[in-house]
Each structure stands twice: as structure tokens, then as C-alpha cells.
Structure 1
Amino acid sequence: MKKRAHACVLTGLLGAFASTFAMADEPASPHVLSANIGLASNYIFRGISQTGGEAAIQGGLDYSHRSGAYLGAWGSNVGWLTEFQGYQSGSMELDIYGGYRNAIGPVSYDVGAMRYLYPGSKNGGGLPGAWTTEAYVSAGWKWFTAKYSYYLSDSVFGVGPNADGSGYFDISGSLPVGETGLTLGAHWGTFNFRNVGAADYDDWKVSAAFDMGKLGKVGDGVTLGVAYTDTNAERRFWTQANGEYLGKGTTTVSISKAF
């Protein structure tokens, strides 16, 4: 009986080991789905406030494939549709994007397209719509990334018409500070609007982000951020109907959670 019991135990252990070994050898899924949600004191996009200095709730959903292909959607509340663009109603931005990213040796690259959707009701005053389409390409090396966005839509974030062919170029750097969880960032960009020279501007940003996961499991996926942004955007062009200048120097704090 003892021998039979020992044999049963040994068989069970070998079976468990074989099962564990088989699970370890199973290839990981080529599909990855992730999500994020965040709160910011101000929604700044390329130096310009999208909320007129007010807070923003934001979130997104992303799918990526092992091949490098990806798709995603991201949304936020905005304020400029009614205050700057003359919409009767509209307070949301929804971005749909897709592309392909990979690397050649130490250089990473990303090629894709994005459609910025702004649901709302125009007032019929002749101002161009806000919906915008861009194609982009970027290259990165170590801590640095350069990106160029080319606009295919007749209107570019409400600037137009006949603004297709406009472009935005930016260079950014992101430097982790050892194993502290702190990352320092810097950015400079320039926006050139075709046929609307008064809208052209440069913007710059310095930032810091802290990975709360360094403080324990409760902070996993949580990032705290602070950034200072500024522009040389022409005040007369980039001021809302309520007198808010959208390109002024601003400090923004944020918190986000990735899933």
C-alpha cells in the first residue's frame, strides 16, 4: 500500500511538473489590449489650451499586435469649440488612430494616421469645422524622438479653410533618473498653417513624471505629472471670445492610471 501511495504521489508531482512546463512553453498572445484614464488641471495640446484653463478628464483604449500594428481611441472634454470656434454646442474630443511601429537596430520608428473628431453643432456662421485628419511619422533614438505630422483635412483644428498641407514638427526628450521612478522631459515644436500665417507658432515644454509604483503595489500603473508649457502664438489670433488667451505659459498637474 505504501509503495502504491508513493507511486500515486510521484505520478501526481510529475503530472503537475509537466503541466507547469507546458504552460511555461505556451507562446504569449500576440494581442495586447490596454487602457488608461487620467485627470489634468488643464488640457494642453501642442502648447494650446483645449479647455481654456479648465480641468480635463481623459481616457483611452489601445490594441497592439506583436507585429507592430496598433489601433486606439482616446477622448477628453474640451472648451474651445463654443468659446473659440463658434459652435452652438460641443465639449468633446475623440481621437481614432492606427499605425505601425517597430525598430531598425537602435532606432525606433512609427508611421500612422489620426482622425480628431469633435461632435457638436456649428452655428452656421461660415467658420470651418474642427474635425481634423493627420498622417505622422516619427523616429526615436535612446531618449530622443522627432516627429512630423502632415495635415490632410481642409480645416486643421478649426483653422482654415484650405489649410490642408499644414505641418507640425517637434523634438522631445525623456530621461529616466536612475531607478527613482522619476522621468524628466523636454519638448519643442513648431506649427505651420498653410494659407493662415497668423496662426503659426512655436511651443515648448519642460516636464517631470513620477511612477507611483515605486512606492508599492497600490501605486502600480499610476503616474503623477507636472509640466510647464509656453508658446509665441499670436495673442490676437489665439484668444477666445471670452478673452482667454489659449497660448499663454501654463503649469499643469496631472494624474493617470494605466491598466
Structure 2
Amino acid sequence: MLKPSHVLLASLLASPWVHGQIFQRELGDFDLKLSSAPSRSMAQGLVKPSATGSFHGGLDLTHDSGWYIGQWSPSMGLGESDLEVDSYLGFKRPFDQTLGYEVGMIHYNYPQLAPQDSQEFYGGLTLLGSRFGAAFSQDPNKRNSTLFADLGGNQPFGIGVSIKYTTYQLGNPASVSNGYVSSFNDWSIKFSRPWMGIDLKLIYSDSNLNGSDCSAYSGHNAQCDGLLTFKAEHSFY
């Protein structure tokens, strides 16, 4: 049986407006957002992006003091994907108009795969519109450390650039043909630009594993070896 919070999120995702970008409303000192896209960039999709299913969405509640809490589900478990509900709590505050910081934690919950639940702690700085973050997570049998930079404050020709680098330490070394793999790294760089209502994205990803060692790979990227991906996304609502 799903927890009440999971049922609440499921009902939100079934609402007609969930296909829109953001539904926002002020409730006293709180700001409520319901969206089909991650509304908390540092907490959701920035330090540990997940594959997004056909039905996805979440809610975010922010207080004027800077505290916030929310849930995001990149997949409702329909089709070949498993249900995932990510709950997060954090604090975000600007120092001035050019500099700010954010810290928080996320609990990744897989009701159908309970042993795979994990936690992640993250923090970051916002400087002149660009974001620089770090995250540390304890997954089952694996520890991850991630550095991230989103250079949104400086976009030549309107092109956004984001870079991510992650180190993985395996609790149990993985057996490969030439021995064992106890750690590995992966990285990615993404170029994005809006064009005539379409979000164009060009992504290159790679890791330090190759050949038969790729059987030990379980990182963020779609595959172990170098991969160049082009995406064109358009929102109809």
C-alpha cells in the first residue's frame, strides 16, 4: 500500500493541469507550486537527474524565511518504469542580488523496490545567475560524490551550458574480465537553447570505464562509453 504522501502525489499527477508548466499560489507566508517539471532546480534534476516517464510531476512549498519542502516523482510506475517518489527538505537564501546559497537533503523512495531507497545531501551557490553545486549520496552498496555547474548567468548566443562530474565508490567491487572494479567516474556536458518554442539540447557523456569494464558501470549516464545525444522537446501546454 502506498503512503498517504504517495497517494496525494498520485492524485496531483492525475489532475488535468499537470501537463502545464507550473501552477502557483500564495498561502499566507507560503508559496505553493504544483508542476509537471522540477520546480526546485538544485534539489531536483540538478544533482541527480532521473529518467522521466510519461506521467510525472510534483509539489513544492516554500516559506518566506527560505525553508522549503516538497515531493517530485519522475515516474509513476506506468509502462516499464518503476514508481519513484523523491521527498526533499532544504533552505535557500540570498546574500545579496548577485550571490546566494542553498543546502538540503533528498530521500529517493522506490515503493516497489524498497531496498534501493537512498539519501542525498546537497549544497550550492548561485553567483550572477550561474549555479555551482555538490552532492553526496549513500546508495545501497555505493557512495556517490557529484560536482555540478550550470552556467546560466553567461549564455553566449543564448546557449546554456551545464557540466556534471561524479565519482562512485562501490561497497562490493564488481567482477570484470580483467579483475575487479571498485570505483569509477562519469561526466557529461549539456548545451541547450530555446528555438521557436522548442527546447534544443545537445549532450555528450562518457566515463573512465571502457571495453569489458563497462559491465560494472551503474552511473548517471545512459551508457558507459562516450555518447552524443540530441533532444528536441516542445511543451503543448
Q: 1:254 to 1:78 in 2, by over 3 A?
A: farther
Q: Does structure 1 residue 94 correspond to structure 2 residue 92?
A: no
Conserved 8 A contact 2:47-2:122: no
- Extract unaligned runs of 5+ from structure 1: 1-26, 39-44, 80-88, 123-128, 240-244
Conserved 8 A contact 1:48-1:246: no
Identity of aligned residues (%): 18
Paired residue for 1:229? 205
Cα offset, 1:196, TM superposition: 4.3
Q: 1:31 to 1:48 in 2, by over 3 A?
A: closer
Residue of structure 2 aligned with 1:130, choices 103, 116, 121: 116
Paired residue for 2:101? 109
Task: State the one-letter code of the partner of 1:68.
Answer: G
What's the RMSD between the two structures over aligned residues? 4.0
CA distance in 1, matches of 2:216, 2:234: 32
Q: Does structure 1 residue 253 correspond to structure 2 residue 236?
A: no
Paired residue for 2:217? 238
SS state at 1:56 partner: coil
Paired residue for 1:147? 133
Cα offset, 1:113, TM superposition: 0.7
Paired residue for 1:204? 187
- Aligned positions, number: 186
CA distance in 2, matches of 1:246, 1:47: 18
Return the index of the structure with the highest Cα Rg. Answer: 1
Q: Does structure 1 residue 185 correspond to structure 2 residue 161?
A: yes
| Deviation digits for residues 170-213 of structure 1 (CA, Å, limit 9, x no counterpart) | 131323537x7x3411313122326346363333323233457x
More relative contact order in 1 or in 2 (CA 8 Å, sep 6+)? 1
Q: 1:199 to 1:50 in 2, by over 3 A?
A: farther
Conserved 8 A contact 1:137-1:149: yes
CA distance in 2, matches of 1:247, 1:204: 10
Where does structure 1 differ by over 4 angstroms across 4 or more consecutive aligned residues?
A: 45-51
| Deviation digits for residues 134-161 of structure 1 (CA, Å, limit 9, x no counterpart) | 122222322543323233x5xx1xx41x
- TM-score, L = length of structure 2: 0.60
Of Structure 1 and Structure 2, the greater strand share is in 2
SS state at 1:200 partner: strand
SS state at 2:215 partner: coil
Q: 1:70 to 1:190 in 2, by over 3 A?
A: same
CA distance in 2, matches of 1:36, 1:142: 26
- Extract unaligned runs of 5+ from structure 2: 1-25, 38-44, 174-180
Q: Does structure 1 residue 168 correspond to structure 2 residue 140?
A: no
